[in-house]
Each structure stands twice: as C-alpha cells, then as structure tokens.
C-alpha cells in the first residue's frame, strides 16, 4: 500500500484454546468430624443471657453427627461448668429450707442435699447425654426448629424427649434420654435417705426429669433462642 491509502480487513477472529476444569467434592469421615468439632466449639459458647449454659441445642438443622469423643466432651462441659455448680448449690439451699429430702439440717445436711442433686444431674447428663448416645449412635442435642406453625414447633419440642435424631440423620425413639432419666431415678435410691427411697422416689424423679426436659425444650423453641447471643466468631 502507498501513503494515503487504506484498506479495511474483515473476517478476523481470535481463537482461544478451550480449557475444561472440573472440581470433585467428596465427603469423608475426617471432614465430617472436623465440622462437628467446630460446631460443638460454637455450641460450648451458647449461654442464655451470656452466662447460663445452653450447650445442648443445635440451631443448625444440618449439624454434623457427633463422635463419641464430642458427646463426652459436651456432657463434661455441662456437668463441670461453674454455673451448673452454682445452680446445684442454690437448689440445695431451697431443699434445705424445705427440709427435703429427709437429710438432717445444718452444714452436713446441706452437703448431702448438694451431693444428691449433683449426683442426679451428673448421672442424667453423662448416661443420657454421652454413654447411651455413643452406644446407640444417637444425637443428644435438641434440634431447634424455629419455623413452621406454632403447633408444629410445640409438637416438635414436646416430643423431643421421646424422639431424637440418630447419627445417621434419621429420627428414631429417644432411648438415650429416656435411659438417662431412668438411670438417674434408679440410682437415687442408693444415696437418698432410707425414708425417701422406694418406687415413689423412682417414679417421681423420672417423671419430673422428663417433664422438665419437655418444658425446657418448649422454652428453647420459643424463648431462649432470642436470649442466647451468637458467639462472636459465628456472626
């Protein structure tokens, strides 16, 4: 071409080599355990009003199943938490004032009442929240529903002491919680005063524990979620 001339070139195409990239996602037992560990770590910071333990609630419906180690870890965090011990001390004082069960008055009687209440709680939590869930492969936590009709949420809360989620994700009879309540009620007959022992003590302790658990679940579903701040690292 000479100076001053121009020519329009058409049909030019830029070819880019096609590259195929594939990503394969797999789920392994190790990764599931890591997820469960992180979830339990967050649950161990769940406290009503910021200080009352609220560890046995899963707000994630798709929470990973707990390993036996994590079940025992969660149970231990509850029974040895300072707030738990303070609560036991307070209830022992209430029983001391009401003169029940039939321990003597004074410092010794208070210590016996404290020991009885703590033994009740320890047995219930460790058997129903760790030992049996590990053996039966059941999840000891309450799974917060949070949505649906009021009736469905109420039904979910009231049935939770009797129906639980298995480690396989399926709902099943809650043998762990029922077994924990039965074990706690039965063992109470070995250390309560002789005048209080018998079928009446066993049945009253069992039904009181189960009833309190059902009411606690109702509170979890409708009240305590708003009073339990999320851990800072979970926001």
DSSP 105: S
31 pLDDT band, cuts 50/70/90, is confident
Residue 234 has pLDDT above 50, yes or no: no
Residue 147 CA: distances (Å) to CA of 48, 98, 222 = 20, 41, 10
Tell me the percentage of the chain whose pLDDT exceeds 90. Answer: 83
**What gap in Å lies between CA 38 and CA 155, rounded to an integer?**
30
Q: Is the pLDDT confidence value at 20 over 80? A: no
Average pLDDT over residues 22-33: 60
Q: What is the reported pLDDT for 154?
A: 97
* pLDDT for res 235: 43
3-state secondary structure string across 159-188: HCCCEEEECCCCEEECHHHHHHHHHHHHHH
Long-range interactions of 181-187: CB distance < 8 A, separation 24+: 181/124, 181/128, 181/205, 181/206, 181/209, 181/210, 181/213, 182/206, 183/123, 183/124, 183/127, 183/128, 184/120, 184/121, 184/123, 184/124, 184/127, 184/128, 184/209, 185/209, 187/119, 187/123
Q: What is the mean pLDDT of the segment spanning 46-63? A: 95
* Tens-digit pLDDT profile for residues 90-134: 999 999 999 999 999 999 999 999 999 999 999 999 999 999 999
Low-confidence winner among 3-12, 58-67, 163-172 (lowest mean pLDDT): 3-12
pLDDT (average), residues 189-205: 96
Does pLDDT of 1 surpass 90? no
For residue 152, the model assigns a pLDDT of 97
Q: Does residue 17 sit in helix, strand or coil?
A: coil
């Amino acid at each position: 071409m000479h100076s001053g001339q121009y020519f329009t070139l058409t049909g030019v195409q830029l070819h880019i080599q096609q590259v195929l990239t594939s990503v394969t996602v797999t789920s392994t037992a190790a990764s599931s355990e890591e997820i469960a560990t992180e979830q339990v770590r967050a649950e161990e910071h769940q406290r009503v009003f910021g200080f009352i333990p609220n560890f046995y609630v899963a707000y994630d419906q798709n929470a990973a199943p707990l390993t036996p180690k994590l079940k025992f870890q969660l149970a231990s965090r509850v029974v040895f938490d300072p707030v738990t011990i303070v609560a036991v001390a307070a209830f022992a004082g209430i029983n001391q004032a009401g003169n029940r069960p039939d321990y003597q008055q004074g410092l010794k009687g208070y210590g016996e009442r404290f020991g009885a209440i703590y033994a009740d709680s320890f047995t219930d939590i460790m058997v129903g929240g760790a030992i049996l869930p590990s053996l039966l492969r059941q999840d000891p936590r309450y799974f917060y529903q949070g949505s649906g009709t009021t009736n469905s949420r109420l039904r979910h809360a009231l049935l939770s002491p009797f129906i639980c989620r298995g480690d396989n994700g399926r709902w099943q009879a809650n043998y762990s919680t029922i077994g924990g309540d039965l074990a706690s009620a039965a063992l109470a007959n070995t250390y309560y005063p002789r005048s209080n022992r018998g079928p009446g003590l066993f049945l009253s302790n069992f039904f009181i524990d189960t009833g309190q658990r059902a009411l606690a679940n109702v509170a979890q579903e409708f009240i305590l979620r708003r009073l339990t701040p999320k851990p800072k690292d979970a926001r």
